[in-house]
């Protein structure tokens, strides 16, 4: 069974750094792209970017380029999303999701990581 398990909820202050994780299991982690999707409170889904763990090829949405960093460690089947300096506007639920084979829809999703940023 394909599973993506994300790290737990985080409460941070503005200006702090953060790295959240997404661990894949039940499939060949290096052969499928992993994407990140933001959902702000009460709002819709926004695609942030995507990484191919096999060679760390990464694409970003222009809206998130320079705001976050996506990375992966294929040795432990884990993808990451990180911020160097959080803002209150980063408060949201963040989902990782596996890209379907040969196409850009997402066929499996993590349970989400809630990030709260407040002073």
Verify binding: residue 46, other proteins, rule CB under 8 A. yes
CA atoms within 13 A on the CB side of 12: 24
Among 17, 31, 56, 63, binds other proteins (CB under 8 A): 63
**What gap in Å lies between CA 16 and CA 37, rounded to an integer?**
21
**What gap in Å lies between CA 14 and CA 71, rounded to an integer?**
22
Residues 73-112 that bind other proteins (CB under 8 A): 95, 97, 100, 103-112
CB of 16 to other proteins, least distance (A): 26
CB of 59 to other proteins, least distance (A): 6
């Amino acid at each position: 069974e394909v599973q993506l398990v994300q790290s737990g909820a985080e409460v941070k202050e503005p200006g702090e750094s953060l790295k959240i994780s997404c661990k894949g299991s039940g499939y060949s982690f290096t052969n499928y792209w992993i994407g990140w999707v933001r959902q702000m409170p009460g709002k819709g889904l926004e695609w942030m970017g995507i990484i191919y763990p096999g060679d760390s090829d990464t694409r970003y949405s222009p809206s998130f380029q320079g705001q976050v960093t996506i990375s992966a460690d294929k040795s432990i089947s884990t993808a990451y999303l990180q911020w160097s300096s959080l803002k209150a506007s980063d408060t949201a639920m963040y989902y990782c999701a596996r890209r379907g084979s040969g196409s850009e829809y997402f066929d499996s999703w993590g349970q989400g990581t809630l990030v709260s940023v407040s002073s």
